[in-house]
C-alpha cells in the first residue's frame, strides 16, 4: 500500500465557540492509501486540545509508510493496526486516519461497504444532534433557524451564565437538547442542582460537566443524576474505560480519540457489557471521517455526527443528511469520494 497525505484547512460556516476558545477554521490531514489502482481515504482531524500538530501527524505518516508498503492483499487489518499502533504512544488522529483508509480500501478491494466486510447489517437512518456553539444572541437565533431540519440540538455550555443561555435557547425552540459543558463546571452539588433544572428544560443528556480530574465528584453526580452523564474528555481509548465506567452513564466515542474504527468497535463492545450508553461523536471533521463513524451508528444510543454540516468547504462527499437524519449510502468501503482537487 502506498500512502500519500495532504493538509487542508476546513473552514466553519460560523466561528465555533466552546467554553475554552473560539475558532474559524481547523486543519485536517487527509490520506490516500493506494493498492493496485484502488484508493482508500482517511482523515486526521487535529483539535488543539488533543495536543496534536500537523507536523507530528505528518511525521507519523512517514514512519507508517514502510509498515504499510510491505503488506500485500489479502491484508490482515488486525495485524496492520497493531503494527501501526506500536509506532508511537500518541498520534491517535494519525492512527485513526490510517485505520479509516485501511478499512475504506479493504471495502473497495472487496466491492462491499464497510459494515458488510465487518459482518454486520447496515445502520438505519438515525437522528443526529446539531451543535450550537457559544455565541452572541442574534447569532444563536440565526444558528437555531439554520438547524430547522434537525430534531435535536447540542448546546455548548460552560459559559458564565448557563441558565441564561438555556433560557435564551428556549425562547426560540423546544427541541430536546444535549448539553456539553466541556469540563466547565466546578462544584458537584451545583452540578447536580443544574442537572435537575436542565431536565425540566428538556435536556436529555449532559456531556463532561466537570474536569477530567474530578472523577470522584463525577461518580457522586452520576449516581444521583436525573439524566445520563456522558464522558468525553475523560475517555480516549479502550484502556481508559475501566477507570471511568462507574463515574459516568455513558461514553462519547470519537475516531480521533480511539485511533480508528477497530478500537471504536472494541469500546462499543465494552460499553454494551458494562451497561454504558454509547454516543458516537466527532471532532470538526469532514464527511470523510464522519462517514466512517456513521458506519457504526446501529450500535449507538445517540449520535452527534453533524460536523460536515458546520463546514463551508467539505472536501468529501459521503453520508447524507435528510430531515436531521444521517443516511449511509451503498458505496464500497466507508462510502466517500473526494473532490477532484484534493489529491
Nearer to Mg ion, 104 or 162 (CB): 162
Stretch that binds Mg ion, among 29-37, 100-108, 204-212, 282-290 (CB under 5 A): 204-212
Q: Is 232 among the residues that bind Mg ion (CB under 5 A)?
A: yes
- For the CA atoms of 59, 60, 63, 67, the dihedral, rounded to the nearest 10 degrees, stands at -150
Nearer to Mg ion, 207 or 217 (CB): 207
Nearer to Mg ion, 123 or 129 (CB): 129
Q: Shortest gap between Cβ of 343 and Mg ion (angstroms)?
A: 31
Stretch that binds Mg ion, among 6-14, 41-49, 150-158, 176-184 (CB under 5 A): 176-184
Stretch that binds Mg ion, among 22-30, 97-105, 172-180, 335-343 (CB under 5 A): 172-180
- Grid cell 475523560 is found at 234
Query: Residue 329: which residues within 8 A CB-CB, separation 6 or more?
Result: 318, 319, 320, 335
Stretch that binds Mg ion, among 59-67, 82-90, 178-186, 301-309 (CB under 5 A): 178-186
Closest to 184 in 3D by CA, of 208, 155, 215: 208
Nearer to Mg ion, 64 or 303 (CB): 303
Nearer to Mg ion, 83 or 233 (CB): 233
Nearer to Mg ion, 91 or 182 (CB): 182
In the region spanning residues 127 to 156, those forming contacts with Mg ion, defined by CB under 5 A, are none
Distances (CA, A) of 43 to 87, 113, 131, 291: 18, 18, 21, 11
Pair 258, 236: CB distance under 8 Å: yes
Q: Is 162 among the residues that bind Mg ion (CB under 5 A)?
A: no
CB neighbour class for 36 (10 Å; exposed up to 12, middle 13-18, buried from 19): exposed
Q: Is the four-CA dihedral 285, 290, 292, 298 of positive or negative sign?
A: positive
Q: Shortest gap between Cβ of 154 and Mg ion (angstroms)?
A: 8
Stretch that binds Mg ion, among 152-160, 180-188, 196-204, 262-270 (CB under 5 A): 180-188
- For the CA atoms of 64, 67, 68, 73, the dihedral, rounded to the nearest 10 degrees, stands at -160
Closest to 312 in 3D by CA, of 47, 5, 15, 7: 15
Nearer to Mg ion, 179 or 268 (CB): 179
Q: Shortest gap between Cβ of 267 and Mg ion (angstroms)?
A: 16
E strands, 20-66, where? 22-35, 38-45
**Going by DSSP bridges, is the β-strand pair 229-231/203-207 parallel, antiparallel, or unpaired?**
parallel
Pair 122, 296: CB distance under 8 Å: no
Which one among 52, 104, 135, 180 touches Mg ion, defined by CB under 5 A?
180
Nearer to Mg ion, 135 or 180 (CB): 180
Pair 222, 251: CB distance under 8 Å: no
Please tell me the number of Cα atoms within 13 Å of 124 on its side-chain side: 3
Stretch that binds Mg ion, among 10-18, 113-121, 140-148, 200-208 (CB under 5 A): 200-208
Q: Shortest gap between Cβ of 208 and Mg ion (angstroms)?
A: 6
Stretch that binds Mg ion, among 21-29, 179-187, 300-308, 314-322 (CB under 5 A): 179-187
Q: Is 85 among the residues that bind Mg ion (CB under 5 A)?
A: no
Which residue's Cβ has the minimum distance to Mg ion? 232
| Helix (H/G/I), strand (E/B), else coil: 284 | coil
Query: Residue 105: which residues within 8 A CB-CB, separation 6 or more?
Result: 1, 33, 35, 38, 39, 40, 333
Q: In the chain, what is the greatest distance between 2 CA atoms, to the nearest angstrom? A: 60
Number of residues that bind Mg ion (CB under 5 A): 3
Q: Shortest gap between Cβ of 33 and Mg ion (angstroms)?
A: 29
Q: Shortest gap between Cβ of 150 and Mg ion (angstroms)?
A: 17
**How many angstroms separate the CA atoms of 61 and 5, rounded?**
8
Please report, as ranges, the residues that interact with Mg ion according to CB under 5 A.
Answer: 180, 207, 232
Amino acid at each position: 500500500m502506498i500512502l500519500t497525505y495532504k493538509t487542508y484547512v476546513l473552514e466553519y460556516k460560523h466561528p465555533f465557540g466552546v467554553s475554552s476558545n473560539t475558532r474559524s477554521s481547523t486543519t485536517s490531514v487527509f490520506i490516500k492509501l493506494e493498492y493496485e489502482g484502488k484508493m482508500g481515504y482517511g482523515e486526521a482531524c487535529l483539535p488543539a486540545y488533543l495536543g496534536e500538530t500537523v507536523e507530528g501527524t505528518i511525521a507519523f505518516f512517514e514512519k507508517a509508510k514502510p509498515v504499510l508498503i510491505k503488506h500485500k492483499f489479502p491484508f490482515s487489518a488486525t495485524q496492520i493496526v497493531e503494527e501501526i499502533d506500536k509506532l508511537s504512544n500518541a498520534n491517535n488522529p494519525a492512527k485513526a486516519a490510517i485505520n479509516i483508509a485501511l478499512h475504506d480500501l479493504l471495502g473497495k478491494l472487496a466491492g462491499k461497504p464497510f459494515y458488510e466486510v465487518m459482518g454486520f447489517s447496515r445502520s438505519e437512518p438515525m437522528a443526529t444532534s446539531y451543535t450550537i456553539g457559544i455565541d452572541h444572541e442574534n447569532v444563536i437565533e440565526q444558528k437555531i433557524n439554520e438547524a430547522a431540519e434537525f430534531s435535536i440540538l447540542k448546546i455548548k455550555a460552560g459559559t458564565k451564565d448557563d441558565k441564561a443561555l438555556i433560557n435564551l435557547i428556549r425562547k426560540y425552540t423546544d427541541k430536546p437538547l444535549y448539553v456539553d459543558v466541556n469540563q466547565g463546571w466546578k462544584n458537584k452539588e451545583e452540578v447536580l442542582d443544574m442537572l435537575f433544572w436542565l431536565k425540566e428544560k428538556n435536556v436529555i443528556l449532559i456531556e463532561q460537566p466537570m474536569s477530567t480530574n474530578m472523577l470522584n465528584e463525577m461518580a457522586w453526580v452520576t449516581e444521583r443524576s436525573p439524566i445520563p452523564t456522558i464522558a468525553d474528555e475523560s475517555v480516549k481509548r479502550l484502556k481508559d474505560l475501566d477507570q471511568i465506567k462507574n463515574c459516568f452513564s455513558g461514553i462519547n466515542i470519537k475516531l480521533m480519540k480511539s485511533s480508528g474504527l477497530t478500537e471504536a468497535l472494541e469500546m462499543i463492545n465494552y460499553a454494551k457489557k458494562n451497561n454504558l450508553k454509547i454516543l458516537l461523536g466527532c471532532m470538526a471533521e469532514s464527511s470523510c471521517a464522519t462517514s466512517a463513524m456513521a458506519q457504526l451508528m446501529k450500535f449507538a444510543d445517540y449520535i452527534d455526527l453533524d460536523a460536515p454540516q458546520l463546514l463551508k468547504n467539505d472536501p468529501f462527499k459521503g453520508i447524507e443528511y435528510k430531515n436531521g437524519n444521517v443516511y449511509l449510502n451503498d458505496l464500497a468501503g466507508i462510502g466517500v469520494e473526494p473532490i477532484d482537487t484534493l489529491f
